[in-house]
Structure 1
Amino acid sequence: MNDLFAALGLAIVIEGLLYAAFPDQMKRMIVQLLALPSQHLRLAALGMAGVGLVLLAVVRL
């Protein structure tokens, strides 16, 4: 359970740093995401989740 909270905390830190360092680019990215069809966004999110699971499995070996 501690690993889960550590990972969530790290994700929040990284996202916060991105918004602090590149606010205008992040705004443009959000506008572009809103223009994407839901199916494309869903597939991209599932793909990234799969990449994350593979990376986690490699790190945990």
Structure 2
Amino acid sequence: MGSVLLAIGLVLLIEGLLPFLAPRQWRSAMLRIAELRDGQLRFLGLASIAIGLLLIVL
């Protein structure tokens, strides 16, 4: 359970860095992401999953 909490904490830390350091650019990126089609979002999600699994395995 400790590893899971550590992983969630790291995700939150990394996710919070961009809005904290560059809020204007982060907002702009989120607006562009919101305009993507469903298939494009699914591809980004799949790519994120694949990269995450690769990092875990390494």
Taking structure 1 as the reference length, the TM-score comes to 0.86
Equivalent pairs, count: 58
Shift of 1:45: 0.9
Amino acid at match of 2:17: L
Q: Percent identity?
A: 31
Q: Structure 1: give runs of 5+ residues left out of the alignment.
A: none
Deviating beyond 4 angstroms after TM superposition, the runs of 4 or more aligned structure 1 residues are none
Shift of 1:9: 0.6
Q: Which residue of the partner structure matches residue 15 of structure 1?
A: 15
Separation of aligned partners in 1, 2:51 and 2:17: 22
Query: Does the alignment pair 1:42 with 2:24?
Result: no
Separation of aligned partners in 2, 1:17 and 1:44: 20
Q: Which residue of the partner structure matches residue 32 of structure 1?
A: 32
Offset from partner CA, 1:14-59 (integer Å, 9 cap, x none): 111211101000100110011100111111111111111011011x
Local SS of the residue matching 1:7: helix
Taking structure 2 as the reference length, the TM-score comes to 0.90
